[in-house]
């Protein structure tokens, strides 16, 4: 078995090699899986030593090069910033994409890049002012796009019913997909909130500084989250009302299928609300209320099964 001392020297050697690598960027805003793979590999190799500033090594009396740890953090955060920069152009051009599927794929790329940045921030234990502001703005853009998608779903609900062969993805699956994306966005925001920009070592690094209006950004995010919630509720309520207004003579299986769709949409909405409350730090206040809602939904579940008795 490799000795701890040998592992320590191999790890620090790897760190020195990493910071010597040139930083690459993609100019088209595409998600970079190679950067993701590199970060995952370094997470396994470095453990918590970046986030804890070599605390474990210090406890063992090993010589910790704090300057090297700082350089590694800076390299990883700079790599993230380079991956975020092209996303501004991607968002600006999103309405020029000819197909809805192309827009969806582009926003999926944006979400994956944001999640990669959040993963790096957790790994190194801090963020930068510029990354904070940039990610918040991109999260807001994603949220506004999700709200537009939900509004489009609602408008489709008001149109005459299409033949089954021409229908798009089931409404409940569409809504669940949009809210799942928003839950992931809120997880990114939560990570940024938990790892605020540190005073050291990046305040002297000009390319990592930023002077964005933080208050305006937070206000924009709050408006976006409210907009998403309202439009999701509108889709669910319209679905419920339409099913009530159109009773079916078919077998019980159709009633249960509609109830099942309603159940899954409500479940997705509650998951969204849970994450929103967590982001706001109001679990102790709103937790009991949410628990009652979850219990009510759980009580409904047996009536939603389409399986034969």
| Fold of the 126-309 domain | Methane Monooxygenase Hydroxylase; Chain G, domain 1 (1.20.58)
| Alpha carbon distance 291, 268 (integer Å) | 15
Q: Residue 256 — very low, low, confident or very high, per pLDDT cuts 50/70/90?
A: low
Task: Record the pTM.
Answer: 0.85
* One-letter-per-residue 3-state SS of 85-128: CCHHHHHHCHHHCCCHHHHHHHHHHHHHHHHHHHHHHHHHCCEC
- Which residues lie closer than 8 Å to 45 by C-beta, 6 or more apart? 11, 14
Residue 92 has pLDDT above 90, yes or no: no
What is the tens place of the pLDDT at every residue in 150-165? 999 999 999 887 655 4
Report domain extents, the chain. Answer: 1-97, 126-309
Give 22's DSSP letter. P
Bond into 26 cis (ω within 30): no
What integer pLDDT is reported at residue 198 of this predicted model?
A: 58
Pair 86, 28: CB distance under 8 Å: yes
Residue 211 has pLDDT above 70, yes or no: no
Measured CA to CA in angstroms, residue 174 lies from 45, 180, 230 at distances of 39, 10, 16
Measured CA to CA in angstroms, residue 150 lies from 162, 179, 294 at distances of 19, 9, 23
Residue 31 has pLDDT above 90, yes or no: no
Pair 258, 243: CB distance under 8 Å: yes
The token pair at 45 is 């190799």
As a whole number of Å, the end-to-end CA separation of the chain is: 57
Residue 179: which of 146, 218, 151 has the closest Cα?
Answer: 146
| Alpha carbon distance 84, 30 (integer Å) | 10
* One-letter-per-residue 3-state SS of 118-179: HHHHHHHCCECHHHHHHHHHHHHHHHHHHHHHHHHHHHHHCCCCCCHHHCCCCHHHHHHHHH
Q: Residue 224 — very low, low, confident or very high, per pLDDT cuts 50/70/90?
A: very high
What integer pLDDT is reported at residue 128 of this predicted model?
A: 92
What integer pLDDT is reported at residue 95 of this predicted model?
A: 72
Measured CA to CA in angstroms, residue 297 lies from 257, 288, 300, 302 at distances of 16, 14, 5, 10
What integer pLDDT is reported at residue 246 of this predicted model?
A: 63
């Amino acid at each position: 078995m490799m000795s701890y001392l040998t592992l320590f020297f191999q790890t620090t050697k790897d760190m020195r090699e990493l910071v010597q690598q040139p930083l690459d960027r993609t100019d088209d805003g595409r998600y970079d899986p190679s950067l993701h793979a590199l970060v995952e590999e370094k997470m396994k190799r470095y453990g918590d030593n970046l986030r804890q500033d070599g605390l474990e090594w210090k406890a063992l009396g090993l010589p910790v090069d704090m300057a090297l740890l700082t350089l590694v953090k800076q390299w990883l955060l700079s790599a993230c910033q380079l991956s975020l920069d092209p996303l501004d152009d991607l968002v600006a051009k999103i309405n020029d994409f000819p197909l809805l599927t192309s827009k969806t794929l582009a926003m999926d790329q944006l979400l994956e890049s944001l999640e990669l940045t959040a993963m790096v921030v957790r790994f190194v234990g801090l963020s930068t002012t510029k990354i904070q502001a940039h990610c918040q703005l991109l999260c807001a853009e994603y949220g506004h796009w999700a709200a537009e998608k939900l509004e489009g779903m609602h408008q489709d609900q008001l149109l005459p019913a299409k033949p089954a062969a021409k229908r798009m993805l089931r409404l409940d699956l569409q809504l669940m997909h949009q809210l799942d994306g928003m839950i992931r966005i809120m997880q990114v925001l939560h990570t940024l909130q938990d790892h605020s920009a540190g005073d050291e070592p990046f305040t002297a690094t000009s390319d990592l500084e930023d002077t964005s209006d933080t208050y305006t950004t937070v206000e924009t995010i709050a408006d976006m989250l409210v907009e998403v919630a309202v439009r999701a509720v509108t889709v669910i309520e319209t679905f419920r009302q339409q099913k009530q207004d159109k009773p079916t003579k078919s077998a019980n299986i159709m009633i249960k299928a509609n109830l099942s769709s309603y159940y899954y949409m409500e479940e997705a909405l509650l998951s969204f609300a849970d994450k929103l409350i967590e982001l706001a730090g109001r679990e102790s206040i709103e937790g009991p209320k949410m628990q009652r809602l979850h219990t009510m939904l759980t009580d409904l579940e047996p009536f939603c099964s389409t399986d034969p008795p």
